[in-house]
Amino acid sequence: MNNKFFIYGVAGAGKSWFSLHLKHDLDLPLISGDYIRSVAQLENNIEANPELYYNHDYVTDNSIQDILNIRHLVKPHFLHELNFYMGGIIVEGSCLDPNIIIELGKTVLIITEDESQHQKQYFQHRALDDKAKAKFKVKRLKQEYLIEEAKKLGIPTINNSGTIDQILKQFHNLS
């Protein structure tokens, strides 16, 4: 049985919250995509790859290309990190490439369909100003992209609504 689980989605969708509960439910170690990104930063400079450094604060005219760039930059570090875990593991992050992780273990896209709920979750740890509101709109566009991408790849999507027990049950019921 493959005990590798990959949870991805946009900022504020609930992937970290869900992954932490899944970690306790399955009694497995958890790696954050933010950690993998920080390792990738050690080998990439800020001038050449600003999207890798500014994370949720970095918004360009082509945010979808930014997602693809970040995935490319973290890929070798992500794969290297997985080598340390021969048993089970949970990896969560916005920088995970579904084209890779789908081949490595159970992969799920976490989304928050309800925009007001997503906004509440997103601003729980961020200042609520005009600049941040604009960034949130970009996150909603990125989420739509990830949903379409997941459909094409056959990756299941779990909507972050309901109790944690209901969401965990959805996860465990996925084939």
The whole model's pTM is what? 0.90
pLDDT along the chain (175 residues), means of 10: 88 94 96 88 81 60 81 91 90 94 96 95 87 86 95 97 94 87
Write down the domain spans for the chain.
4-168
Q: What is the pLDDT of residue 19?
A: 97
Q: Using CB atoms within 10 A of its CB, is residue 85 exposed (0-12), middle (13-18) or buried (19+)?
A: middle
**Among 102, 115, 106, CA closest to 152:** 102
Indicate the fold that domain 4-168 takes in CATH: Rossmann fold (3.40.50)
Where is 111: in which H helix or E strand?
strand 106-111
Q: In whole angstroms, what separates CA 167 from the centre of its chain?
A: 16
